[in-house]
């Protein structure tokens, strides 16, 4: 029972990271109808920037804030400079461009910072919390991770629901042509979406790296699971991204915990199993709307 609680809590904590990546992918998908393969690479790069700032200033929070700001800039710049020119061309071109961006960022990180593994500081203690004498399997920092992603998600949800900027974003995602006709600058809205996605990715990078080390490929597997979470939830649904992330975090945590060393080797296979089952039942994810098909 204690074990189960431990696995659940640590699963939720990692699930929140996947949820953050999934949410950033959903933000971009809704605006641009594009999978951003550079999302993990961008998060890796902003985490390097955070590490540099922390080294220079000695302040964790300075690094944290700079990373988020860098995420916003990188997200918007990626959309404006390399993605926008490719829209309207064959669909896969933009995908390959984001893959090119990912490889470029990994190469640049290697050039500037070298390939070796670096440790990244955590905001709070990473020593496991205890209730009485039973270890809970999560640390103060894990709680911070979950709360930070939750706060970001809620802020986004409130922003989308209650602000006029949020309304514009929803309108642009719902029907770009009609939105444009009613005076919304759809192009600008899309750039803002990319910036927000960059921010979420940067947040995920700073939060996950204390438990993974930092190196040019460090976000690859996090990206794969974040992408999986987004697909499970349905790429059009922000709620689906969060649910998908938590579901995947829990499943992988149980698999790693209960199946022993073989289980941790096979986490990706477990994730594949879940994905296949979900997609067999709902080919467009759990929270997919009715499918519209043009004939």
Does 289 sit near another protein (CB under 8 A)?
A: no
Whose CA is closest to 23, among 153, 187, 155, 133? 153
What backbone phi and psi angles, to 5 degrees, belong to 130? -130, 140
Give CA–CA dist 40/220, Å, rounded.
6
> What's the closest the beta carbon of residue 41 comes to another protein, in angstroms?
9
The CA distances from residue 85 to 36, 42, 74, 124, in Å, are: 15, 19, 16, 43
Exactly one of 62, 104, 150, 184 binds another protein (CB under 8 A); which one?
Answer: 104
Exactly one of 99, 123, 129, 157 binds another protein (CB under 8 A); which one?
Answer: 99
CA torsion sign for 201, 207, 213, 214 is positive
CB-wise, 138 or 270, nearer to another protein?
270
Token duo for residue 271: 């994730």
Exactly one of 172, 207, 231, 246 binds another protein (CB under 8 A); which one?
Answer: 231
CB-wise, 85 or 135, nearer to another protein?
85
Does 52 sit near another protein (CB under 8 A)?
A: no
Does 111 sit near another protein (CB under 8 A)?
A: yes
Exactly one of 3, 55, 114, 178 binds another protein (CB under 8 A); which one?
Answer: 114
Q: What DSSP letter does each residue of 42-89 carry, written as one string?
A: HHHHHHHHHHHHHHHH--HHHHHHHHHHHHHHHHHHHIIIIIGGGTTS
Give CA–CA dist 173/205, Å, rounded.
26
Please state the separation of Cα 80 from the chain's center in Å. Answer: 20
Exactly one of 93, 121, 129, 157 binds another protein (CB under 8 A); which one?
Answer: 93
Exactly one of 123, 167, 224, 239 binds another protein (CB under 8 A); which one?
Answer: 224
> What's the closest the beta carbon of residue 169 comes to another protein, in angstroms?
20
Whose CA is closest to 4, among 205, 188, 250? 250
> What's the closest the beta carbon of residue 43 comes to another protein, in angstroms?
16
Q: Which residues form the interface with another protein (CB under 8 A)?
A: 29, 35, 37, 82, 85-86, 89-97, 99-111, 114-115, 216, 220-221, 224, 227-228, 230-231, 235, 262, 265-269, 271-272, 275-276, 279-280, 283-285, 293-295
């Amino acid at each position: 029972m204690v074990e189960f609680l431990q696995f659940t809590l640590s699963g939720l904590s990692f699930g929140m990271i996947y949820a953050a990546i999934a949410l950033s992918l959903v933000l971009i998908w809704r605006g641009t109808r594009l999978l951003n393969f550079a999302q993990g690479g961008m998060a890796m790069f902003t985490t390097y920037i955070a590490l540099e700032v922390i080294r220079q200033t000695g302040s964790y929070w300075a690094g944290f804030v700079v990373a988020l700001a860098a995420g916003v800039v990188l997200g918007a710049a990626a959309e404006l400079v390399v993605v926008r020119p490719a829209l309207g061309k064959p669909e896969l071109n933009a995908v390959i461009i984001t893959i090119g961006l990912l490889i470029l960022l990994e190469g640049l990180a290697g050039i500037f910072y070298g390939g070796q593994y670096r440790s990244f500081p955590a905001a709070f203690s990473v020593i496991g919390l205890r209730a009485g004498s039973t270890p809970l399997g999560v640390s103060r920092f894990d709680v911070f991770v979950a709360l930070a992603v939750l706060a970001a998600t809620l802020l986004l949800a409130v922003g989308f629901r209650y602000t006029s900027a949020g309304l514009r974003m929803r309108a642009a995602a719902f029907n770009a042509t009609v939105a444009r006709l009613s005076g919304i600058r759809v192009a600008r809205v899309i750039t803002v979406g990319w910036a927000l996605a960059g921010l979420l990715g940067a947040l995920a990078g700073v939060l996950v790296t204390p438990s993974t080390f930092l190196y040019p490929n460090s976000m690859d597997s996090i990206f794969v699971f974040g992408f999986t979470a987004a697909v499970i939830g349905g790429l059009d649904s922000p709620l689906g991204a969060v649910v998908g992330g938590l579901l995947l975090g829990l499943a992988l945590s149980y698999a790693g915990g209960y199946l022993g060393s073989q289980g941790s080797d096979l986490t990706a296979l477990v994730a594949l199993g879940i994905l296949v089952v979900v997609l067999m039942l709902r080919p467009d994810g759990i929270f997919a709307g009715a499918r519209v098909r043009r004939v």
